[in-house]
Structure 1
Amino acid sequence: MGLIQSVKEEMAIIKERDAAIHSSMEVFLYPSFKVMLRYRVAHKLYLKKHYFLARWVSQRAVRKTGIEIHPGAQIGKGFFIDHGSGVIIGETTIIGDNVTLYQGVTLGGTGKEKGKRHPTLGSNIMIGAGAKVLGSCTIGDNCKIGAGSVVLENVPAGSTVVGVPGRVVKRINPDHPQDELDQIHYPDPVWEAITSLQHSNAEITNQLIDLEQKMRTSERAQKKQSQNAE
């Protein structure tokens, strides 16, 4: 792919994904646009084993954008980083097509692995602000990771993950995955757990009240029988 075609594709992705953009010229100011052009160059250098030059290009991009993408990472088409400050993508990360990351996302390692030590992401994935996906786990297609979540294990396709550590709280309809990829309709497992405990507590309380009333009724009946017997 030539440089002009790469620029056109990156511009189209940003204009499609970011509702805040008002003109094509604004694209040239976007950190995602700048870092992806430099990543493509750095990645080619990395594949040719020009490791120092590849890191030099990528580190210059870090200073300009606040986004660190290791030149060894493999990134598919339609990749977009919204805002982008603080995003980190490790060397052995593999990213599929049409993936969106928000600010503060880390696709990193655990510090204990060798070889493939960073995540593998499928296609059509959205990762919310501040989320961390660590280690050589695999995130299936059509998944979304809630903001602030920490994912350490494999996630099946079509899942919504929230929490620390991340837990699957919802599975989407595979026939209409695009209807589910948003950032506002996340289930809240903590609130659901609290609500369940409240319901259970209310049921137990009502049962104790009923039992206490039955015991009092029984005691009054026994007392009355005792008095009649006398």
Structure 2
Amino acid sequence: MFERLISYLDSVRARDPAPRSRWEILLYPGVLALGLHRVAHWLFEARLYFLARFVNHFSRALTAIDIHPGATIGKNFFIDHGFTVIGETAQIGDNVTIYQCVTLGGSNPTNGKGGKRHPTLMDNVIIGSGAQIIGPIVVGERARVGANAVVTEDVPAGATMIGLKARSTLVPAEDWLREFIPYGTPCDDPPCDEQGSPRRDCIEKLEAEITSMREEMALMKAMLAECAAPPTPVRIRKSAAKE
């Protein structure tokens, strides 16, 4: 058990350069929330629902992270900062990273039965800050969901989802095999640019093109004005006229 804890703390440290020691990681709200969830989930499976809920509410008050006791979570799960909500039927694989203010929310069943209402995150998924993953969808292995994206449909393995409603940037497999991308959001990622995703220098380039067009139009106007002007009369000097 001690070796498993050390392995987990090291996995967190590999994804977060801030902590100076393992002891510091033990104080992380995400680590505390996960530890209390393990207890709550064990009580939930034992059908001690009230006690499971009590542990859940205590954890939420302590960490600002709300993980339903029924949620299934794999190994090395890391919530970086708090204010995250994970629903009852959510299933999370191994080595998943979630940043702050993420919701793994459920759909509203029309048949009156609970069933599978929340997302399933496969192994090595990264969810960026403020992302909303809604409904019984599957986020494929090593997929990334960018900050503030809203995902309501299945995500292919290795895809990067961005925007409202989230769309895939179709990052090639050779790129998504990289070990870890902070916040699940690529910055200056050439494959994203090639697929037509917004670029940070887009506005500057458009402004430069507009300025160049204005200069060309001003030059053309000057040339047209010069051509349309009446010819200047030639003055003959008196001395030249007498000769």
- Give the shorter-chain TM-score range: 0.7 to 0.9
Structure 2: stretches of 5+ with no match in the other structure:
218-243
**Corresponding residue number in structure 2 for 1:147:** 147
Q: For 2:41, which of 40, 43, 64 is the aligned residue? A: 43
Tell me the percent identity.
41
Range with bigger deviation, 176-185 or 146-155 = 176-185
After superposition, where does 1:59-74 map in structure 2 within 5 Å? 59-74=57-72
**Corresponding residue number in structure 2 for 1:218:** none
Q: How far off is 1:27 after superposition?
A: 1.7
1:102 aligns with 2:99: yes
1:93 aligns with 2:90: yes
Q: How far off is 1:171 after superposition?
A: 2.5
- Preserved CA contact (<8 Å) 1:117 1:136: yes
Amino acid at match of 2:87: G
After superposition, where does 1:24-43 map in structure 2 within 5 Å? 24-43=22-41
**Corresponding residue number in structure 2 for 1:191:** 198
Separation of aligned partners in 2, 1:176 and 1:90: 27
Separation of aligned partners in 2, 1:61 and 1:81: 14
Separation of aligned partners in 1, 2:44 and 2:34: 15
What is the SS of the residue equivalent to 1:171?
Answer: coil
Amino acid at match of 2:198: W
**Corresponding residue number in structure 2 for 1:80:** 78
Q: How far off is 1:173 after superposition?
A: 1.6
Structure 1: stretches of 5+ with no match in the other structure:
210-230
**Corresponding residue number in structure 2 for 1:134:** 134
After superposition, where does 1:170-189 map in structure 2 within 5 Å? 170-173=170-173, 177-179=177-179, 181-182=181-182, 183-185=185-187, 187=192
Q: How far off is 1:177 after superposition?
A: 1.2
**Corresponding residue number in structure 2 for 1:225:** none
**Corresponding residue number in structure 2 for 1:167:** 167
Separation of aligned partners in 2, 1:29 and 1:45: 24
Amino acid at match of 1:40: R
Range with bigger deviation, 9-18 or 139-148 = 9-18
Could you state the TM-score of these two structures normalised by the residue count of structure 2?
Answer: 0.73
Q: How far off is 1:25 after superposition?
A: 1.8
After superposition, where does 1:196-207 map in structure 2 within 5 Å? none
What is the SS of the residue equivalent to 1:184?
Answer: coil
- Preserved CA contact (<8 Å) 2:15 2:180: no
Q: How far off is 1:123 after superposition?
A: 0.6
- Preserved CA contact (<8 Å) 1:39 1:58: yes
Q: Structure 1 residues 47 and 97, CA, compared in 2 at 3 Å: closer, same or farther?
A: same
* Residues matched between the structures, number: 205
Q: How far off is 1:18 after superposition?
A: 1.2
After superposition, where does 1:106-125 map in structure 2 within 5 Å? 106-112=103-109, 114-125=114-125
